[in-house]
């Protein structure tokens, strides 16, 4: 009789946990953007970066990161818990090699209620950079960066809990090359 009652209370609990886990997994998977629409641009691009790292590969790669070396330790912390990293970056010789429709195919996926736009900087001269976050409660479960320039189109999609501060600190560290942005020149008087 007692075992029957405990089983009765345990079953809904297990079911609830399963539903919760499934929801969280679905939510995490929902952070993945479909980037296949951009594949045709590779033929026209002078340089292409195509990175597809799923959860298994993230875990395997993380195994190679040293927990002793300070720089690799930082990267390991960033990578820890990530469910996937997907990047597509195209650089072209000439402007106008990709259409607004190509950009829209990515942007439209980020307009859903799950995503919130964190940053949107648009400039006629330098193009636009958009940063989107997917939040579950207070925690980030996905990041998407869409960078559009005249001759360059880059989409970064990271799935899982991302530490934005740590990630932005990575540039220029651990053989991660610094961005070749020249500091603003002092204005000369006419």
Partner 1 sequence: MNEKYLWDKSGKPDPQIQQLEEILGALRYEHRPFKIPGDLVIGRRRSYVPVLAIAATIALALLAAGLWLRVQNQKAPQFRAEDARPTVVPSGIKENVPKPLVAKDESLDQRPKELRVPIHHRKSAGNLLAGNLSRVKYSPEPDLKPSERREALIAKGQLMMALRLASEKLNLAQRRTQLSSPANLLRNQHKVG
Q: Which of 15, 18, 51, 95 binds partner 1 (CB under 8 A)?
A: 51
Size of the site for partner 1 (CB under 8 A): 54
Distance (Å) of CA 173 to CA 73, 118, 143? 12, 25, 21
Phi, psi of 108 (to 5 degrees): -60, -30
Query: Would you count residue 95 as binding partner 1 (CB under 8 A)?
Result: no
67 belongs to the binding site for partner 1 (CB under 8 A): yes
Q: Is 143 in the site for partner 1 (CB under 8 A)?
A: yes
How many whole angstroms separate alpha carbon 131 and alpha carbon 142?
A: 11
**3-state per-residue secondary structure call for 139-159:** EEEEEEEEEECCCEEEEEEEE
Residues 115-134 that bind partner 1 (CB under 8 A): 119, 121, 123, 126, 129-131
Question: CA 102 to CA 142: how far, in whole Å?
Answer: 22
* Segment (H or E) for 128: strand 127-136
d(CA 28, CA 82): 10
- Applying CB under 8 A, among 30, 103, 145, 163 the residue interacting with partner 1 is 145
CB of 25 to partner 1, least distance (A): 22
Nearer to partner 1, 15 or 49 (CB): 49
Helix, coil or strand: residue 131: strand
CB of 103 to partner 1, least distance (A): 15
Shortest distance, position 184 Cβ to partner 1, whole Å? 9
Q: At which residue do the structure tokens 């691009």 appear?
A: 45
- Interface contacts to partner 1, rule CB under 8 A: 47-49, 51-53, 57-58, 60-61, 63-68, 75, 78-79, 85-87, 89, 91, 119, 121, 123, 126, 129-131, 143, 145, 147, 151-152, 154, 156, 158, 164, 167-172, 174-181
């Amino acid at each position: 009789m007692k075992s029957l009652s405990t089983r009765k209370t345990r079953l809904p609990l297990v079911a609830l946990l399963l539903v919760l886990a499934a929801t969280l997994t679905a939510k995490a998977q929902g952070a993945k953007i479909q980037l296949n629409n951009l594949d045709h641009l590779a033929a026209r691009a002078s340089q292409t970066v195509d990175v597809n790292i799923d959860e298994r590969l993230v875990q395997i790669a993380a195994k190679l990161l040293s927990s002793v070396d300070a720089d690799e330790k930082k990267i390991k912390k960033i990578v820890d818990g990530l469910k996937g990293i997907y990047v597509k970056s195209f650089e072209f010789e000439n402007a106008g090699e990709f259409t607004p429709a190509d950009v829209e195919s990515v942007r439209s996926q980020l307009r859903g209620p799950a995503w919130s736009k964190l940053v949107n900087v648009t400039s006629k001269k330098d193009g636009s950079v958009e940063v989107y976050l997917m939040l579950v409660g207070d925690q980030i479960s996905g990041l998407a960066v869409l960078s559009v320039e005249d001759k360059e189109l880059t989409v970064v999609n990271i799935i899982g809990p991302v530490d934005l501060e740590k990630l932005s600190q990575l540039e220029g560290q651990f053989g991660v090359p610094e961005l070749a942005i020249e500091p603003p020149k002092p204005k000369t008087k006419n």
